[in-house]
Amino acid sequence: MNTTSPTRNAERGTRTSRRASLLATALLAFILHLSTFILSAFPPALPHTIYGMARDEYGNPLRTNATIVLTTSTGLSVSAQVETELEPGVNYRLVVPLDSGVKSDAYKTGALQSTVPFRIRVTINNATFLPIEMTGDYSLLGQPGKQTRIDLTLGEDTNGNGLPDAWERAMIAARGWNVTLNDLTGSSSLGTNGVTLLQEYVAGTYGFEDGNGLNLAIARIEAGTPVLEFLAVRGRTYTIVGSTNLKAWMPVPFRPLLPDADAEPVSTYLSPDVRLLQVAVPASATGTVPLFYKLQIQ
């Protein structure tokens, strides 16, 4: 199936509400906006949770002895280990203790008060790495009891297009392109399949060959149940959405056709390896089966 087809196009589950913020230097800080919160009963405030996916410069989710460290301008730190199966599309979660700011001192060591600048770094085997990209919706950042998703990409991005240089160089070399890093953007599609570099990077398929990689196909129909096929890459989380009219899209349950898979359909699949995966999409409780499918990847 051609990935340019709107009926069966493999597509990222990227959110239109998110925005990207590229780090210019290691010292660039974000602000926890807590000034609007006032708690008069007791100094502790509900913690704020920062979570997301941390990837290396080749787009692979971190799986090694990696620690995400949030450090404030005053030297306070909060850290969390990377966990490969924390939840679909998430491999780190920082729970940041907050203080209401009613008193001049924090209710406990490490609690943060309002308007606290911080930076995030990643340590792997005693080496420190800085995110070249932090992508998320910061509208709730720092609010007590709320959550903020921030996806991290490690590495160097000299041309500022959101793609790590090492990955772009590998793409250029593999395809034999006569281009430089400055010629590439996230929306570039230098192959014939219409898939952008950003889509290939997030999917982990690299796009070295147009005939392979990011693709969703109907392999066959078994007793009225469609069997879909796509390349699953280790560490990526896959969701299938369906539609009967190409307008309203909803997640649909599916069953991976694997020897050790549960008989019951699932809503997401976290791939432990690289394989050409087939999944069955049974009819819903209403007996209807979508006519069109998309693949979402995190």
CATH 2.60.130 describes domain 19-154? yes
Q: What is the predicted pLDDT for the residue at 124? A: 86
User: Distance between CA atoms of 22 and 99, rounded to whole angstroms?
Assistant: 29
How many separate helices (H) and strands (E) can be counted in the chain?
Answer: 2, 19
- Report CA-CA distances (Å) from 227 to 51, 118, 162, 205: 33, 47, 35, 21
pLDDT digits (tens, 9 = 90+) for 36-47: 333 333 457 788
Contact 197, 185 (CB under 8 A): yes
Tokens describing residue 115: 């308007």
Tokens describing residue 126: 């005693």
Residue 126's contacts (CB-CB under 8 Å, 6 or more residues apart) are none
Residue 276's contacts (CB-CB under 8 Å, 6 or more residues apart) are 229, 230, 231, 232
User: Which residues in the chain land under pLDDT 50?
Assistant: 1-42, 102-114
Other C-beta atoms closer than 10 Å to the C-beta of 222 total 10
Q: What is the predicted pLDDT for the residue at 267? A: 92
pLDDT digits (tens, 9 = 90+) for 227-239: 999 988 887 889 9
Residue 70's contacts (CB-CB under 8 Å, 6 or more residues apart) are 50, 77, 78, 79, 94, 96, 118, 119, 120
What are the sequence ranges of the domains in the chain? 19-154, 216-297
